[in-house]
């Protein structure tokens, strides 16, 4: 499922970096990757080069099955409200640095309001995870 996975070792456990993308067309939860029980999500970054041009707002949530904003959300993606010169660390991030109690499918959901956008994204989601 992941587009890319990289691994390094930390104190006998591996740090794995998962990546996947969310597009403007992903308006229902898109499965990005699966984390196992005991995995510890450490960091969450969002990369993109083009802001959404939705007329009112464009929002990205990073969640899990049954909780669309479990890790981050909703994050504004409109022009002038998001940095596109490098990675962005969502200000609404949560549930990092704690072992997961159960297997978790990480999801990404895009939502916009007002006149539909004709440009923006895709947004690359990067999560560093300390594997159990």
Specify the CATH number for the domain of residue 31. Answer: 2.60.120
Q: Cα angle vertex 92, ends 68, 131, to 5°?
A: 70
Instruction: State the pLDDT confidence band at 112, using cuts at 50, 70 and 90.
Output: very high
Instruction: State the pLDDT confidence band at 10, using cuts at 50, 70 and 90.
Output: low
Instruction: State the pLDDT confidence band at 48, using cuts at 50, 70 and 90.
Output: confident
pLDDT score for 30: 97
Judged against a pLDDT cut of 60, whether residue 9 lies above it is answered with no
Q: Which residue has the higher pLDDT, 49 or 60?
A: 60
pLDDT score for 8: 57
Tally of residues, the chain: 132
pLDDT score for 29: 95
Burial class from Cβ neighbours inside 10 Å (0-12, 13-18, 19+) for residue 15 reads: middle
- Residue ranges making up the domain that contains 13: 4-130
Number of domains in the chain: 1
pLDDT score for 86: 59
pLDDT score for 1: 52
């Amino acid at each position: 499922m992941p587009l890319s996975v990289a691994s390094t070792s930390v104190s006998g456990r591996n740090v794995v970096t998962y990546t996947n993308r969310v597009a403007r067309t992903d308006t229902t939860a898109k499965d990005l990757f699966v984390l196992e029980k005991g995995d510890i999500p450490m960091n969450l970054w969002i990369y993109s080069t083009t802001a959404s041009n939705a007329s009112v707002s464009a929002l990205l949530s990073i969640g899990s099955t049954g909780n669309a904003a479990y890790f981050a959300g909703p994050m504004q993606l409109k022009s002038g409200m998001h940095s596109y010169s490098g990675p962005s660390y969502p200000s609404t991030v949560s549930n990092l640095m704690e072992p997961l109690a159960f297997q978790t499918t990480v999801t990404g959901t895009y939502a916009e309001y007002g006149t539909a956008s004709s440009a923006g994204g895709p947004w690359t989601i990067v999560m560093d995870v300390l594997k159990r």
